[in-house]
A and B are shown apart, each in its own frame.
Chain A
Amino acid sequence: MLWLLKGGQVSGMVGVGIEIEKLCVGYDKTSVLHDIDLEINSSEFVALLGSSGCGKTTLLKSLSGFIKPMSGQIRVNGNDVAQLPPEQRNMAMVFQSYALWPHMTVRQNMGYGLKLRGMSKEQINRKVDELLTLLGLADFGDRKVPNLSGGQRQRVALGRALAVDSPILLLDEPLSNLDARIRLSMRHEIRSLQQRMGLTAVHVTHDREEAMVMADRIVILNGGHVAQVGTPLEVYEQPKSNFVATFMGAENEIALNVERANGTLSIARQEAVKAASLSVSNEIGDGGVNWQASAAGSVRGRFRSSAAHLRADEAVPEGHLALAGRVTQLSYPGGVFRYEIESAGQLYMIDDPCRYAVGDVVTICVPAGGLHLYSEAA
Chain B
Amino acid sequence: MSGQSMSVGPGRMGAILLVAPALLMIGFLFVYPFGYSVVSAFTDNGEGSWHIANFTKAIEFYSKDILFTIVIVSLSTVVIGVLAVAIAGYLTLGENPTAVAVLKWLYRWPLFIPFIVSAQLMRTFLAKNGMMNNILTSSGIIEPLAAQSYLDWRGIVITFVWKQTPFVALLVAGAMASIDRTTIDAGRIFGASRLRILIELVVPQIATTLMVGLILSYVVMLSVLSVPLMINAQSPTMLTVDMAWRINSYGDYGVANALGIMSYLFTGVVAWFYLRQSLKDKGA
Contacts and interface: CB of A to CB of B under 8 A. Distances in A.
Contacts of B205: 101-103
A117 B201 contact: no
Q: Which of A101, A102, A112, A117 has most B Cβ within 10 Å?
A: A101
Main secondary structure of the interface of A (DSSP, over half): loop
A93 B193 CA distance: 17
A89 to B, nearest CB: 8
A101 B191 contact: no
A366 interface: no
Interface string A46-84: 000000000000000000111000000000000000000
A214 interface: no
Contact of A87 (B182, B191, B207, B284): B191
Interface in B160-207: 180, 182-183, 185-193, 196, 200-201, 204-205, 207
Interface string A177-221: 000000000000000000000000000000000000000000000
Contacts of A64: 185, 189
Contact of B196 (A65, A66, A116): A116
A99 interface: yes
Given A87-B193, A116-B196, A144-B284, A99 B186 contact: yes
Q: Range of interface residues on chain A?
A: 20 to 34
Contacts of B191: 87, 90, 113, 116-117, 164
Given A95-B182, A97-B182, A103-B204, A116 B192 contact: yes
B283 to A, nearest CB: 11
B185 A66 contact: yes
13 contacts: A65-B189, A85-B188, A87-B189, A92-B189, A92-B190, A93-B189, A100-B183, A101-B201, A101-B204, A103-B207, A112-B192, A116-B196, A160-B186
Main secondary structure of the interface of B (DSSP, over half): helix
Contacts of B200: 112
Contacts of B185: 64, 66, 86, 93, 95, 99
Interface string A154-193: 0000001000100000100000000000000000000000
A93 B204 contact: no
The 3 residue pairs across chains A and B that have the minimum distance between CB atoms: A99-B182, A113-B190, A99-B186
A91 interface: yes
Q: Which of B188, B201, B204, B284 has most A Cβ within 10 Å?
A: B188
Contacts of A89: 189
A97 B181 CA distance: 10
B190 A99 contact: no
A100 B200 CA distance: 13
Contacts, number: 65
A113 B186 CA distance: 10
A112 B190 contact: yes
A23 to B, nearest CB: 19
Contacts of B188: 65-66, 85-87
Q: Which of B183, B196, B207 has most A Cβ within 10 Å?
A: B183
Nearest to B181: A99
A288 to B, nearest CB: 46
Contacts of B186: 93, 95, 99-101, 160
Interface of B: 180, 182-183, 185-193, 196, 200-201, 204-205, 207, 284
Interface in A90-149: 90-93, 95-97, 99-103, 112-113, 116-117, 144
Contacts of B182: 95-97, 99
A60 to B, nearest CB: 11
Contacts of B193: 87
B284 A99 contact: no
Contacts of A112: 187, 190, 192, 200
A141 to B, nearest CB: 15
Contacts of B187: 101, 112
A86 B189 contact: yes
Given A86-B189, A97-B180, 7 more contacts: A95-B182, A95-B185, A100-B183, A103-B204, A113-B190, A117-B191, A144-B284
Contacts of B192: 87, 112, 116
A166 to B, nearest CB: 9
Contacts of A164: 190-191
B185 to A, nearest CB: 6
Contacts of B189: 64-65, 86-87, 89, 91-93, 170
Contacts of B204: 101, 103
A142 to B, nearest CB: 11
Contacts of A95: 182, 185-186
Contacts of A65: 188-189
Contacts of A101: 183, 186-187, 201, 204-205
Nearest to A143: B284
B179 to A, nearest CB: 9
Contacts of B183: 99-102
A101 B187 CA distance: 9
A267 B282 CA distance: 71
Nearest to B95: A85
A168 to B, nearest CB: 10
Interface in A305-332: none
B129 to A, nearest CB: 48
Nearest to A91: B189
Nearest to A172: B182
Contacts of A85: 188
A97 B184 CA distance: 12
